[in-house]
Structure 1
């Protein structure tokens, strides 16, 4: 049921009829209002107050209406800020449930947007401009380099539920100076970052070959790249490790959405576009990789990529990744 407050015109009408001695219930009928509404104004006017007094009282009462801002204990505020500093989102903080928070996720997001408790929405992932619908990528493409991503679903009909499928890409530094290669395992969402130093096919193949050589043959079933020129030597990797290799369509980064999203998170974590990545320390790369793999994700039922990944490998193999 909805209720609309009396307008200034209605209040003026009621005052005129009150002055004329008209019964309150007749005024209510003419205005098509509740009888109690008219009687309430009549009772107020009988105290000697004016319609101006009534309006001011109404404004004062209305200021006290509405939902009050949610309040959080200081220990929860400290905990939330600590988790956000580690890359967690309000959704992750509430969903993971490591400790109780005195609000739901939507309320917590609103607090960030309002700047309440010192929270800042700019600290959250994906806060900023995004590409518009229909955006097509044109940078550094070499045409369709190899087998289409659509063949991947034919070769692996259970792709979305299988372990061992990788998505690969590169993240460049300032003025195209330096790069790292990123690999994301599709099921666990674990991210591997290889410090390749330069965005060249020979660098990509050398570091990728060294990394894949650490694992049993067929441990990974497939890799899906974009069509960047740095992946032009893909046949060498495919033949050496007998691994299926696919390519997203030209200008369709959304077909490797998981990899693209993780690259954006790496940018937030420190690999910014204004940073030269040619001499990036391996220790920093390992720290960023470790941090990202230890943040719970909603798509993993608020488990971390590391926790899910560990379910599919042995303890000895663990040392090869982290």
Structure 2
């Protein structure tokens, strides 16, 4: 009996220390687990460090519900570890007052969607809050405990993974020297080390490591390695903080009258440029939405804002007032002087949304037809103005299916005679 007792005592080992009972050994393991969390490890790393699974660590922190209906309380008091540490939480997260309101309303039986409406929050936010932060021991949502749990989940200062895993940074450097992209490096690491999770990183982790090192040890080598040629991350401003496109404020296409969309009233035009080789030359195109009548702008001296606005004014000033209602353009810099066009022609200028060529569908279709006469990759400055006028005349004399096979020139002539 004594020999069996001594044999069993030797089995309860943890970190080189023998314990008399299994419960004492498990208690020491749980204490070490909490110490690792307080030291900055995440849940997965702390669980591995003490030799248990991530799921076991979750049970230690949150408790669990047995199929018999018996609830087990949490076995570690992790969420009390930073209760006295003040944390500044962004307004995008629920505040202490909001959590108190959620708890009060839940006690009165208020539904999740009604609580979300009162807080002006998405219903999913309230539902997720209740699911994550309800006390598993009591089944009750406790607002102060929930607030502390949320604070403890905030990002903790910890070393980057590329500096803690031996060999990982060398693999990343090797890939960059071979001109691999961060995405290719991340994918290759998973292929080369399928059973080693420590060597698996996402693309964003590699980017962060690169840009941090660009300020230190790698310096200009990073700019040479990345295809973008940048050694620092380019900020992506929010829509509300972007600078205006032009000095003069734009009138967007969303403010254009509905009558323009249905093509019921003539005199509404769409404009654009077709560019030549290396964007060094260009021809301006103007298309009337109702008749599909086309006008080409000769730009021999360049297609900057000064030359484009003058070409538009020179070509359109002789049109009857009936045919000068509006002009819709994309947000290209060539129309930065749009106010001059509006003033000289008494015609409103509207701008499309970024990357939305379908909002000028008639003009885009016409540009495609013009490529038969002005192929891509050629120098457009060699074409004289009389040739442009001849091309426009030929295009306007072509029967169009959308006009029941009538010609744009015929429809335009009818409108001018009516005016």
Instruction: Please give the TM-score of this superposition, normalised by the length of structure 2.
Output: 0.39
Aligned residue number for residue 413 of structure 2: 310
- For residue 250 of structure 2, give the secondary structure of its aligned residue in structure 1: coil
Aligned residue number for residue 147 of structure 1: 251
Change beyond 3 A, Cα 1:190–1:219: closer
Q: Give the C-alpha shift of residue 213 in structure 1.
A: 2.3
Residues in 1 aligned to 2:288 and 2:361: alpha-carbon distance in whole angstroms: 12
1:231 counterpart = 2:231? no
Computing the radius of gyration over CA atoms, which structure comes out larger, 1 or 2? 2
Aligned residue number for residue 185 of structure 1: 288
- For residue 350 of structure 2, give the secondary structure of its aligned residue in structure 1: strand
Residues in 2 aligned to 1:272 and 1:285: alpha-carbon distance in whole angstroms: 14
Q: Check the 8 A contact 1:183/1:192 in 2, yes or no.
A: yes
Q: Check the 8 A contact 1:190/1:309 in 2, yes or no.
A: yes
Q: Give the C-alpha shift of residue 283 in structure 1.
A: 2.2
Q: Find the partner of 2:325 among 218, 221, 225.
A: 221
Aligned residues, how many? Answer: 173
Aligned residue number for residue 8 of structure 1: none
Aligned residue number for residue 304 of structure 2: 200
Q: Check the 8 A contact 1:218/1:243 in 2, yes or no.
A: no
Q: Find the partner of 1:274 among 377, 383, 386.
A: 377
- For residue 240 of structure 1, give the secondary structure of its aligned residue in structure 2: helix
Structure 1 stretches lacking a partner, 5+ long: 1-141, 318-322
Q: Check the 8 A contact 1:188/1:308 in 2, yes or no.
A: yes
- For residue 314 of structure 1, give the secondary structure of its aligned residue in structure 2: helix
1:257 counterpart = 2:358? no
Deviation larger for 169-178 or 156-165: 156-165
Within 5 Å, give how 1:112-151 maps onto structure 2.
Answer: 143=245, 146-151=250-255
- For residue 285 of structure 1, give the secondary structure of its aligned residue in structure 2: helix
Aligned residue number for residue 163 of structure 1: 266
Within 5 Å, give how 1:7-156 maps onto structure 2.
Answer: 143=245, 146-154=250-258, 156=259
CA deviation map 1:101-122 (0-9, x unaligned): xxxxxxxxxxxxxxxxxxxxxx
Q: Give the C-alpha shift of residue 157 in structure 1.
A: 6.3
Change beyond 3 A, Cα 1:286–1:157: closer
Residues in 1 aligned to 2:346 and 2:255: alpha-carbon distance in whole angstroms: 16
- For residue 161 of structure 1, give the secondary structure of its aligned residue in structure 2: coil
Residues in 2 aligned to 1:295 and 1:201: alpha-carbon distance in whole angstroms: 31
Change beyond 3 A, Cα 1:217–1:157: closer
1:246 counterpart = 2:336? no
Q: Give the C-alpha shift of residue 158 in structure 1.
A: 7.1
Question: What is the RMSD of the two structures over their aligned residues, measured on CA atoms?
Answer: 2.1
- For residue 224 of structure 1, give the secondary structure of its aligned residue in structure 2: strand
Tell me which of the two structures has the higher relative contact order, counting C-alpha pairs closer than 8 angstroms and 6 or more residues apart: 1
- For residue 210 of structure 1, give the secondary structure of its aligned residue in structure 2: helix
Instruction: Please give the TM-score of this superposition, normalised by the length of structure 1.
Output: 0.50
CA deviation map 1:90-141 (0-9, x unaligned): xxxxxxxxxxxxxxxxxxxxxxxxxxxxxxxxxxxxxxxxxxxxxxxxxxxx
1:293 counterpart = 2:396? yes
Change beyond 3 A, Cα 1:219–1:160: closer
Q: Give the C-alpha shift of residue 280 in structure 1.
A: 1.7
Q: Check the 8 A contact 2:296/2:392 in 1, yes or no.
A: yes
- For residue 291 of structure 2, give the secondary structure of its aligned residue in structure 1: coil
CA deviation map 1:51-79 (0-9, x unaligned): xxxxxxxxxxxxxxxxxxxxxxxxxxxxx
Residues in 1 aligned to 2:384 and 2:269: alpha-carbon distance in whole angstroms: 24
Residues in 1 aligned to 2:257 and 2:267: alpha-carbon distance in whole angstroms: 14
- For residue 278 of structure 2, give the secondary structure of its aligned residue in structure 1: helix
Residues in 1 aligned to 2:285 and 2:338: alpha-carbon distance in whole angstroms: 15
Q: Check the 8 A contact 1:168/1:259 in 2, yes or no.
A: yes
Change beyond 3 A, Cα 1:284–1:205: same
